[in-house]
A and B are shown apart, each in its own frame.
Chain A
Amino acid sequence: MAAPATLDRARCAWRELWRNAAATVWDCGPLTFLPFDRLEVLSERAAIDRHWHERRSEYRWVEDRWTLLAQWPTGYHVLLAAEVEVDLEHRAEIETRALTLTMVLDAGPELRLRHLGEAAPAALLGMLAAYQREALL
């Protein structure tokens, strides 16, 4: 199971993005970002920064809770998967989102993020599954 240091670094990288410290987080090589709030794969740094800027104008990060699922060191990088519950403030209301995050971090001392995936349950299928569960009760 995980070295806590890797989970701490992953948590730190994600929080830095919420705090508008992108310059200290993203790697300078090829990037991928799959945001939970848009059905796209963003790979251009400018588009990624723009999306985070828009997101921060909509939401304020309040708190998050992480559970590491697995990590796979690959030499220069670490691939990590974690379940995250994040509390976000949206128009004076606190909303909680449950996400599965995937991250590729540089294995060195610098905090460098090459990939960030934020997976949320699907809208329509999630609702249908909930209705199906209800019918079985």
Chain B
Amino acid sequence: MSTPAKAIATDESVIAFVEHYVSLSKGKRFDAKRALWDAEEAQPILRPEEASQAFVGWPAIDRYWSHSNSVMRDLETRCWGFHVHRLSAQAALVTYTQRWKATLSDAASLLSGPIASTVRVVLGLRDRGGGWRIHLCIESHVDGVEYARALLRR
């Protein structure tokens, strides 16, 4: 894994939007994050790294964020390494790497200390005239079997 580096300025307006979106993790501002999604999208898709399948549709995504808000005491995320594909004047696909650090609400839990992870993100964006909005967000770590094999090889 490479170390965090300055964002590659392939498209500054898109990158600035993504950096703002990611910054809203601090303070668990899930409502503000949702406001940056495309409310008109019929089939929004969110796949957090820990999920076994993607959440498709607003009810599933809202349930996930509500659950995240209740189980986390705090959350902080930073991002770097952007690649922007401009698919049209109104559509883009962005990939980047993000590192999140969270403390869970249940202090008695096994995970009472902070937990953190570094993942890759694929973000689908469109602009209907009011600025960039998200309709797809897929986070990915490395596959569990591969992770275990890599540990065994060390």
Contacts and interface: CB of A to CB of B under 8 A. Distances in A.
A36 B142 contact: yes
A70 B124 CA distance: 12
Contacts of A117: 95, 120, 122, 138, 140
B95 A115 contact: yes
Given A30-B83, A34-B122, A72-B124, A127 B47 contact: no
A122 B95 contact: no
A121 B119 CA distance: 11
Contacts of B118: 39
B133 interface: no
Given A117-B138, A123-B143, A34 B45 contact: no
Interface string A100-116: 10101000000000110
Contact of B142 (A75, A79, A123): A123
B122 A102 contact: yes
A136 to B, nearest CB: 13
Given A102-B138, A123-B142, A126-B50, A41 B120 contact: yes
Contacts of A64: none
Contacts, number: 147
Nearest to A78: B87
A57 interface: no
A123 B151 CA distance: 12
A114 B85 contact: yes
A74 B117 contact: no
Contacts of B117: 122, 124-125
A122 B50 contact: yes
A37 interface: yes
A128 B52 CA distance: 12
- The 4 A-B pairs with the shortest beta carbon distances in the complex, nearest first, are A119-B140, A125-B50, A120-B143, A123-B147
Interface of A: 30, 32, 34, 36-41, 43, 69-70, 72, 74-77, 79, 81, 83, 95, 97-100, 102, 104, 114-115, 117-129
